Amino acid sequence: MRIEQGGEVFELSQGENEVEVSEGVILCSIEALSRPVVVLNEQRMLISWNRVAKLAVWSVDLTNQVGFHRLLVQLEGKRYNFDFRTRTAKATWAEVRSMAEFCSSSYFGYRRQFTYMAADGTTRKVRLPQVHYAWLRERIPEVEQLVRSIQTRPATSSFKTHQSSLRSKGLSVSRTSRLLRENHRLLELDDTGPINVGKQRYWPSRLVVSAKERHSQLDEHAQIAAFLWLLAAECDDLASVVASIRSEVQQFRERIHALRALALFSGVLIRPNARPISVMATHIQRTDQRYGRLRDLQAEYGSGISDSMEYARSIRVNVRDVWEIYQTFVAHIIGNALGLSYSSEDRDLRKRSPQGWSMASDDWRMYFDTKPPKMELPSWRDATNRPADERPDIILIGKRAGEVILLDAKFKLDSMSSRAQQVDLFEMQGYLNSFATNHGGILYPGPKLAANIIAAKGNVLIELPIRAAHIEEPGGLDAAHQYIRDALQSVHGTTRS
Render pLDDT for 32-80 as a digit per residue (tens, 0 to 9).
999 999 999 889 999 999 999 999 999 999 876 778 888 999 998 899 9
Domain co-membership, 144 together with 61: no
- What count of other Cβ atoms lies within 10 Å of the Cβ of residue 232? 17
Domain co-membership, 395 together with 489: yes
- CA 324 to CA 410: how far, in whole Å? 9
Domain co-membership, 371 together with 276: no
Q: Which residues pair with 359 in a beta bridge?
A: 342, 366
Nearest by Cα to 304 from 101, 110, 102, 97: 110
- Look at residue 393 and tell me whether its pLDDT is greater than 90: yes
Q: Report yes or no on 483 lying in a domain.
A: yes
Q: Report yes or no on 262 lying in a domain.
A: yes
Q: Report yes or no on 112 lying in a domain.
A: no
Read off the CATH number of the domain in which 68 is found. 2.60.40.10
Q: Report yes or no on 206 lying in a domain.
A: no
Dihedral of alpha carbons 316, 320, 322, 328, sign: negative
Q: Which residues pair with 70 in a beta bridge?
A: 83
pLDDT in tens, 242-286: 989 999 999 999 999 999 999 999 877 766 555 556 667 888 898
Q: Report yes or no on 171 lying in a domain.
A: no
Q: Are 437 and 428 a contacting pair, CB within 8 Å? A: no
Q: Are 456 and 306 a contacting pair, CB within 8 Å? A: no
53, 68, 87 - which closes a domain: 87
Residue 457 main-chain phi, psi, to 5 deg: 55, 40
pLDDT at 214: 57
Domain co-membership, 352 together with 253: no
Q: Report yes or no on 188 lying in a domain.
A: no
- What count of other Cβ atoms lies within 10 Å of the Cβ of residue 78? 7
Domain co-membership, 257 together with 367: no
Read off the CATH number of the domain in which 394 is found. 3.40.1350
Task: Please state whether the predicted TM-score (pTM) of the whole model is above 0.85.
Answer: no
pLDDT in tens, 73-109: 999 889 999 999 888 887 888 899 999 999 998 998 8
Q: Report yes or no on 192 lying in a domain.
A: no
- Look at residue 122 and tell me whether its pLDDT is greater than 50: yes
Domain co-membership, 326 together with 289: no
Q: Which amino acid is at 231?
A: L
Range of the domain at 262: 129-152+217-304
Domain co-membership, 351 together with 415: yes
Q: Which amino acid is at 388?
A: A
pLDDT in tens, 294-339: 999 999 999 889 988 889 888 888 888 899 999 999 999 999 999 9
Domain co-membership, 382 together with 347: yes
pLDDT in tens, 449-474: 889 999 898 889 999 999 998 888 88
Transcribe 3-45 into DSSP letters. EEETTEEEE--SB----EE-SSEEEEEEE-SS--EEEETTEE-
Domain co-membership, 246 together with 365: no
Number of domains in the chain: 3
Domain co-membership, 253 together with 139: yes
Domain co-membership, 22 together with 140: no
What's the half-sphere exposure (Cβ side, CA atoms, 13 Å) at 17? 21
Residue 197 main-chain phi, psi, to 5 deg: -125, 110
Q: Is 392 exposed, middle or buried (0-12, 13-18, 19+ CB in 10 A)?
A: buried
Domain co-membership, 332 together with 438: yes
Q: Report yes or no on 237 lying in a domain.
A: yes
